C-alpha cells in the first residue's frame, strides 16, 4: 500500500461522493486530512470519524466555493491552514452538476457552474502555490475532472465545457508549476454512484444501459476513485506531471457498444 504518512491534505467538497472517498483513502494511507463542505452536519461528522479511526488527524472547514471567487478562495485557504498548518496536498474536488439544455441555458446557471468547477480550483491552486513557493514546499495538486471533459452529452453542455476546462487546466498548471517543484495531475471518473448521480439507482433500465456502455460492465461506487488519487499525490508518481487519469471502466476508449437484442 502506498504510504502518505507525513503529508497533510485539503480535499474540497469531501463530505460525500468522490471527495469523501478520496479523503478516506488518504487517511487509510496515513495522511492527515482537512475535510471541506459548505456547512457542518451528519455527513461531515461521519467522514471525520472514519478518517480519525485510521489514526490520523482530521479537521473540518467550511466555505461556499460557488460564491465570490477571490473572497471564498482566501477564506477556505486561511481556514484550512489554521485548522492544519503544513498542508502540502490540495485536491480540488468541489463542483456542481447543475445543467440545462444548451438552448435553455442562462447566465446564472452558467456562471455558477464556471465559478465552482473552474474559477475556484484555478485560484485556490494559485493561493496554495504562492504559499508553497514562498515556503519551499513541494506541493501536490489533484484536479477532479470527469469523463465529460472528453465525451459530451447533449443536455450537459455547460458541465461538459467546465470539465473540459479542468482537463486543460491540469496541463497548463503543470507546465507553470513543475519547474517550481509543484506537481499537478487530475483524476477523471466515469459514471460512479454518488448523491449527484442518484438516477443510477432510481432507474434500473438506465443503469443497465450505462453498464452496457462501459467495457467492464460496472457502475461502481465512488470508492474506486480513492486508490488512483492516493497514487497521483504520492512519491510513487513523482515523475507523473500533467496527467489526467481516467477512472471510467474503459468508457472513454469505447466508441459505441453493440446494441443488444430487445433494446
**Whole-angstrom distance, CA of residue 87 vs CA of residue 146:** 25
Dihedral sign from CA coordinates of 224, 229, 230, 236: positive
- Is 110 a residue of the active site? no
Residue 223, C-alpha cell as written in the block = 470508492
105 in Cβ contact with 158 (< 8 Å): yes
**Whole-angstrom distance, CA of residue 166 vs CA of residue 3:** 27
Catalytic member of 97, 110, 122, 159: 159
**Whole-angstrom distance, CA of residue 261 vs CA of residue 239:** 47
147 in Cβ contact with 191 (< 8 Å): yes
195 in Cβ contact with 150 (< 8 Å): no
End-to-end CA distance of the chain: give it in Å, rounded: 43
**Whole-angstrom distance, CA of residue 255 vs CA of residue 150:** 12
**Whole-angstrom distance, CA of residue 199 vs CA of residue 212:** 16
Catalytic residues: 159
Amino acid at each position: 500500500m502506498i504510504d502518505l504518512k507525513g503529508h497533510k491534505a485539503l480535499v474540497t467538497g469531501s463530505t460525500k461522493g468522490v471527495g469523501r472517498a478520496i479523503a478516506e483513502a488518504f487517511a487509510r494511507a496515513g495522511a492527515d486530512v482537512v475535510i471541506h463542505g459548505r456547512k457542518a452536519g451528519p455527513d461531515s461528522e461521519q467522514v471525520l470519524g472514519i478518517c480519525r479511526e485510521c489514526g490520523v488527524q482530521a479537521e473540518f472547514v467550511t466555505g461556499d466555493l460557488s460564491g465570490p471567487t477571490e473572497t471564498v478562495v482566501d477564506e477556505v485557504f486561511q481556514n484550512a491552514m489554521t485548522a492544519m498548518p503544513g498542508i502540502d496536498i490540495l485536491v480540488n474536488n468541489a463542483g456542481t452538476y447543475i445543467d440545462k439544455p444548451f438552448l435553455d441555458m442562462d447566465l446564472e446557471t452558467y456562471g455558477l457552474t464556471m465559478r465552482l468547477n473552474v474559477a475556484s480550483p484555478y485560484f485556490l491552486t494559485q493561493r496554495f502555490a504562492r504559499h508553497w513557493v514562498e515556503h519551499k514546499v513541494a506541493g501536490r495538486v489533484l484536479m477532479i475532472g470527469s469523463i465529460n471533459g472528453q465525451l459530451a452529452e447533449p443536455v450537459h453542455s455547460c458541465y461538459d465545457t467546465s470539465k473540459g476546462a479542468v482537463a486543460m487546466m491540469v496541463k497548463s498548471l503543470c507546465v507553470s508549476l513543475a519547474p517550481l517543484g509543484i506537481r499537478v495531475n487530475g483524476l477523471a471518473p466515469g459514471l460512479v454512484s454518488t448523491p449527484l448521480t442518484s438516477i443510477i439507482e432510481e432507474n434500473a433500465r438506465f443503469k443497465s444501459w450505462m453498464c452496457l456502455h462501459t467495457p467492464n460492465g460496472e457502475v461502481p461506487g465512488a470508492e474506486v476513485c480513492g486508490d488512483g488519487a492516493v497514487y497521483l499525490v504520492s512519491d510513487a508518481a513523482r515523475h507523473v506531471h500533467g496527467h489526467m487519469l481516467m477512472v471510467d471502466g474503459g468508457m472513454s476508449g469505447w466508441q459505441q457498444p453493440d446494441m443488444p437484442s430487445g433494446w
